[in-house]
Amino acid sequence: MRKLLFVVLVLCGLVGAGSAQTKVITGEMTLSFGYVTTPDGKKLSVAGVRVPYRAELCRLSTTAKPQPSPVSYSPRSGENGIAATKIYENDSPDTFATPGDMPSALDDLILVGATSTTKWTRITIGITVDIQMPFLVRWRVWDNFTPGLGAGVQAFFNEKADFGGILPGWPPTGENEYWRLTISLTADPRYPTGFPVPVPDNECFFATQFRSTQPNGEGPFNYAIAPVFCGGGASIGSSEDLFWYDYEDGGANGVYAETEQDYYGGAPWEANVLAIIEANAGGSTSQVNVGNIIVEHGTHVGGSALDLQDSDDFYYELGPARTAQRVAVIFEALAPTGTLRSVSFNCENAMPNPWHNVQTIEMFNYSFNRWDTMEVRGVTKTDFSFAISTGANFAQYVASNRRMRTRVTFSGREAARSGQPRVVRFDKVTWTVVTQ
């Protein structure tokens, strides 16, 4: 398997004070072609649908680390008051780009809480631009992958959506820059609650293509535009460390063969495109607060479960029972009643004087009566927020009596500063549960 050359954009942050002013471009794109699919397989045309967009210029920053966004939030103004929830998010600070010769690529996405009736409300991607010129962006979504078909043969089937439109030329991105593009799919009165994209098993295959301005989306590929990737893994949903680079047969042709699978050599450069998919929340989205805390290893230093409800610098704190001893704590809560659609765990914590350098997040699997490791991540000295999705198996992490349990364990050795307290502090611990 060949490994692509790439330019590393180590940490992406919007340009702030003390540097050039952030560039923001807003406008409205009219989709020139395309369709989406109803749960019963009927194709609905989206040609002529108005799609507002916003593009922000991101630049290299070796210090700024944007905080992960909450899993769900209130609707933005001007978008019909539709409450949205993120069903996929790969938007880590570890952002990197190809050299600009990739106008067509496909990635596998495991969404959170998607169903046959899910409607997509926003799509966010990252792109680099070599030459300022108008271009057409095309998105395609398939539900199934069929291995064993070989080179030159499309390996993805059961297409759920295929649409695109023409965007104006934007200034070229510098060596350490990219455009972060967000489009809204709820502004047009024909689709006021979003585009139906039925993905009943939560897994889909998401392709982005950049082409010339031929309105039907079948024009020549535009090699001056390329997608941006994010290492570190998705924070909501998941994606394997691979993608399909449309390069066989002399260049991009829109056919994604299984032999075009590629990667960047593994961590920390996981081969996943920068992408955020947001959907009509439907049902009811609840923040579930901690109801009980069990300290497995360590000692309780201060605070209570009430201090975990908001990110407000009021902390629940733990320390080691003995010097350098590991700390482990179990948080428990009760999920709301109703039919579950998704479950995710949200945490904000820090270890100001670290004596450990690894934290392991586990969730109790009631179907198999075991602790499942959901994520292993580093320890930060300052408050840092993260969200962990339970993916398509969310129901396994909620007991018949609605109980949910998450364990956070700190381990590994780090040279702590002598004479200063050793404390793990939690600012916010909650679950986000969507029910119907």
Encode pLDDT of 35-52 as tens digits.
999 988 999 999 999 999
d(CA 365, CA 109): 23
Which of 222, 252, 280 represents a domain boundary (last residue)? 280
How many C-beta neighbours within 10 Å does residue 401 have? 8
Which of 280, 309, 338 represents a domain boundary (last residue)? 280
Tell me whether strands 292-297 and 384-389 are parallel, antiparallel or unpaired. Answer: unpaired
User: CA 362, 367, 370 angle in degrees (round to 5)?
Assistant: 40
Q: Is residue 142 part of a domain?
A: yes
Q: Is residue 26 part of a domain?
A: yes
390 backbone dihedrals φ, ψ, rounded to 5°: -90, 0
What pLDDT score does 81 carry? 39
289-318: buried (b, 16+ CB within 10 Å) or exposed (e) per residue? Answer: bbeebeeeebeeeebebebbeeeeebbbbb
- Residues 185 and 326 both lie in one domain: no
- Residues 108 and 216 both lie in one domain: yes
- Residues 138 and 179 both lie in one domain: yes
Residue 232 DSSP one-character state: S
191-209: buried (b, 16+ CB within 10 Å) or exposed (e) per residue? Answer: beebbbbbbeebbbbbbbb
211-269 pLDDT, tens digit per residue, is: 999 999 999 999 999 999 888 788 888 898 889 998 877 789 999 999 988 888 877 77
- Residues 345 and 325 both lie in one domain: yes
What pLDDT score does 79 carry? 40
Q: Is residue 168 part of a domain?
A: yes
Token readout for 71 is: 């899993």
Q: For residues 272 and 296, is the Cβ–Cβ distance under 8 A?
A: no
Write out the residue range of the structural domain in which residue 407 sits. Answer: 284-435
Select from 244, 258, 245 the least CA-distant residue to 152.
258
- Residues 297 and 264 both lie in one domain: no
- Residues 426 and 350 both lie in one domain: yes
Number of domains into which the chain is organized: 2
d(CA 106, CA 241): 12
Which of 225, 245, 280 represents a domain boundary (last residue)? 280
Q: Is residue 409 part of a domain?
A: yes
Q: Which residues contact 5 (CB under 8 A, 6 or more apart)?
A: 98, 99
- Residues 131 and 225 both lie in one domain: yes
Q: Is residue 1 part of a domain?
A: no
- Residues 165 and 180 both lie in one domain: yes
Q: Is residue 90 part of a domain?
A: yes
- Residues 253 and 296 both lie in one domain: no
- Residues 139 and 256 both lie in one domain: yes
**Where residue 422 sits, what CATH number does that domain have?**
2.60.120.260
Residues of the chain with pLDDT under 70: 1-22, 59-84, 97-100, 281-283, 323-324, 392, 415-419
d(CA 288, CA 309): 9
User: CA 431, 435, 436 angle in degrees (round to 5)?
Assistant: 170
- Residues 26 and 52 both lie in one domain: yes
What pLDDT score does 18 carry? 31
Q: Is residue 248 part of a domain?
A: yes
- Residues 304 and 403 both lie in one domain: yes
d(CA 318, CA 304): 11
Q: For residues 331 and 429, is the Cβ–Cβ distance under 8 A?
A: yes
